[in-house]
Chain A
Amino acid sequence: MRPEQQGIEMAVLVSVGRHPITGRARRADQDARGLELALCLEGRLPGSRIGLLHAGPRSEESEAALRGYLGMAADAGTGLNTLTLLEQPEGSDAIPALADHLSAAMPQLVITGTRAELGEGSGLLPYALAERLGWPLVNGLAAVEKVENGVATLLQALPRGQRRRLQVRLPAIICVDAAAPAARQSAFGPARRGELEATPGAAELDHELAGWQVAPARKRPKRLKIIRAASARDRFKAAAAKAEGGSGQVLEGVSSEQGAEAIFTLLHEEGVLRS
């Protein structure tokens, strides 16, 4: 570990999740992954500080869920034993409260999950914060490689297991999803001993949300395979058809070099060969 590396100030936005089977309140999976990322980064950059932040109502159930995050920092040792709770009445908009708090605290890195597991769950919160604070935002994060001189080098997860390297100037907001490393277990003792530091947050009711009809999710109808055929013969052929490419090109009686050339051209056109 090099001595010139300085610690950074991080804020992890956490929410109350919901267990997919039992429906009980728990720490949200993506937010826990975000805290895991922050804890790993703290281990590599000594002198970093992590602030846990949550905006919402305080109840027994949500408190138990939020303490789950405090239990993750059992062996970090840098005194992550408080969680800042911006207390709001039920049904308020969390964005103004969080934006006010962040612009006052000025952390260099804000880590959030992609979508909440309760409420609207639209995944808009990080984008709204980025627009309000004017900070850059990177989503789908897999890892933070290094932070140097106010520039973070990140790995973004692409579909099909690919990764992309990005450089972003701090302060920035980063969102993690299921591609980030899985969260460690939460220890019960530190979770009990941790403190929830409650401060009243801005209470703006979300009137638009209150006007919508919310119901448990209906099963989506399965799409039917529609065959528009003029005749019974066409319908039968469509139903009995084997999966076939049909218009495939067959190279027969060519030398292996010519065959390889044709394959190479196709691979090149599709862009799967990386140089």
Chain B
Amino acid sequence: MSEMCRRDPRREWIARNRLHPEHASALAALGNIGGGGAASEWLGPSGVLRRNPHGVGFIGPNGVKRIDRSGAQQGGSAPGHGRQAVQQDRRRHVEISDPAFLVAVVPDLTGGRLSGHDKDLLGLARRLADDDPERPGAVLAVVFGEHKEERLGEAGIDRVLHLGAETYAGFAPEARLAALTAVERELAPRHWLLPDSPLGGADLGRRLAQRLGERPVTGVWQIEADVEAPLGWRCTARGAAERLDIRRPLPRVALALAECAEPVDETRHAAEPLSLGAAVPIALSRIEDLGQVAVDPAGVALAEAEFILSAGNGVKDWEGFHHAARVLGATEGASRVAVDDGFMARDRQVGASGTWVTARVYLAVGISGAIQHLQGIQGCDRVVAINLDPGCDMIKRADLAVIGDAAEILAALVAKVEQQRGGQRDAA
């Protein structure tokens, strides 16, 4: 008898009337019973599907009954929870325990995270690996150095070989090449895929191909299955300064352009850690990395600056702002108001009528975030806002927002950076 759902018409009436003093408690009580109202469909004792037309739908925010016919929302339960659960379940979890072959990918991991180019490349690797559903291959990612990426599995990686030694940091093509040669000897992947990005995969991939004695394909942007080709695939690659399309059988080593395939979004993979059996032989390096050179941040073009400190109408202490930019080593940007008022040069303007920036970190000081400005910073990874108004649009866009006086916070930040640098110098 306890399974029988008893309705309380009075409580339902209160739940529909949002002006009733007990409205909230009635809503809560109804929500607790049976996950939001009566079941709308069930199988009767004689095997006939029974429907309760009153059980369909939910009470909307205005106290009016709403029916969502898409099937996404049922009952009066909180909409957020239901939808999120559905989204998480939708991605299939895939585990390939006994792969028929390996597809090795060496992502760039610019700034420690998978770039869009890396994700496209992993999508391409999945296409190669999952071609035959009977005998699926596994995607092996060879990751050099420290990384901050937690979602390797969601990008389509089955196995991760993490080589985090000091020798691979910076520009160390010879050490990395030695490691990749060891991977080749031990695991013998069927395909090697690298991003054709300058200073990342483009350099390493060409070195690897020469070491393996393969003639690689560079600038791949399309692949298609072809039974006559030795590896079963045919590719289209750009040649002659982007003027030619070269179609040829896919070789073992391929360097692919961005958007060569769709990134993985329907499956989740295991990303199991893997390690090499034998130690990687230490290569004698003839190239020594002396580290990055301090570049005058004011000389860097705004469109390609990595770290931008941008000023808006809320900045009153301009001396302090310029000083902060110098100390932080940031390139200066400005909103339209600051430029129109003559505080900053026109070529520093960020936004729809200025420069579209692609900084990794964008620190907006006293910018409220007009839509034209927000368009200009669409390409930024992390946005930090300092503003007095907690309701402005920039705060909604920002990953970290601090409400307070811009001049004071900048001064405190400068003091903190200087103090840390002083401490390091003392220690060294």
In whole angstroms, how far apart are the Cα atoms of A124 and B207 in the complex? 9
Contact, CB under 8 Å: B241 / A121: yes
Tier of interface size on chain B: 35 or more
By beta carbon, the residue of chain A nearest B173 is A137
Please tell me which stretch of B51-59, B96-104, B334-342, B380-388 contacts chain A, meaning at least 4 of its Cβ atoms lie within 8 angstroms of it: B380-388
Contact, CB under 8 Å: B306 / A254: no
- Asked whether B292 is an interface residue with its Cβ less than 8 Å from the other chain, the reply is yes
Contact, CB under 8 Å: B390 / A169: no
In whole angstroms, how far apart are the Cα atoms of A208 and B249 in the complex? 10
In whole angstroms, how far apart are the Cα atoms of A105 and B215 in the complex? 27
In whole angstroms, how far apart are the Cα atoms of A212 and B148 in the complex? 41
Contacting residues of chain B (220-276) with chain A, CB-CB under 8 angstroms? 221, 238-248, 259, 262, 265
In whole angstroms, how far apart are the Cα atoms of A51 and B404 in the complex? 63
In whole angstroms, how far apart are the Cα atoms of A214 and B236 in the complex? 10
Contact, CB under 8 Å: B421 / A160: no
Contact, CB under 8 Å: A168 / B286: yes
Contact, CB under 8 Å: B405 / A162: no
Contact, CB under 8 Å: A271 / B244: no
In whole angstroms, how far apart are the Cα atoms of A23 and B305 in the complex? 34
In whole angstroms, how far apart are the Cα atoms of A139 and B197 in the complex? 12
Contact, CB under 8 Å: B306 / A162: yes
- Asked whether B424 is an interface residue with its Cβ less than 8 Å from the other chain, the reply is yes
A contact residues around B410 at 8 Å (CB) = 260
A contact residues around B209 at 8 Å (CB) = 124, 127
- Asked whether A1 is an interface residue with its Cβ less than 8 Å from the other chain, the reply is no
B contact residues around A158 at 8 Å (CB) = 199, 292
Minimal beta-carbon separation of B189 from chain A (angstroms): 20
- Asked whether A57 is an interface residue with its Cβ less than 8 Å from the other chain, the reply is no
By beta carbon, the residue of chain A nearest B213 is A131
By beta carbon, the residue of chain B nearest A151 is B288
In the complex where A231-B70, A250-B395, A266-B400 touch, is A166 in contact with B287 (Cβ < 8 A)?
A: yes
In the complex where A213-B246, A231-B70, A274-B292 touch, is A18 in contact with B241 (Cβ < 8 A)?
A: yes
Interface residues of chain B, those whose CB is within 8 Å of chain A, are 68, 70-73, 86, 110-112, 148, 170-171, 173-174, 198-199, 202-203, 206-207, 209-211, 215-219, 221, 238-248, 259, 262, 265, 286-295, 299-301, 304-307, 328-330, 360-361, 363, 374-375, 378, 381-384, 386, 390, 395-405, 408-413, 415-417, 420-421, 424
Interface residues of chain A, those whose CB is within 8 Å of chain B, are 18, 20, 114-124, 127-128, 130-131, 136-140, 153, 155-156, 158-169, 172, 177, 208, 211-218, 220, 223, 226, 228, 230-234, 243-245, 247-257, 259-264, 266-267, 269-275
Could you write out 25 A-B pairs with CB less than 8 Å apart? A120-B239, A124-B216, A127-B210, A140-B199, A161-B304, A163-B295, A164-B293, A167-B288, A168-B288, A212-B247, A213-B247, A217-B243, A217-B245, A230-B86, A243-B378, A244-B397, A251-B401, A263-B386, A264-B416, A266-B382, A267-B328, A267-B384, A270-B361, A272-B306, A272-B330
17 new A-B contacts, CB < 8 A, other than A18-B243, A271-B111, are: A114-B198, A119-B240, A130-B207, A139-B203, A155-B293, A159-B199, A168-B286, A214-B247, A216-B243, A230-B70, A244-B397, A248-B396, A250-B390, A251-B402, A266-B382, A270-B381, A272-B329
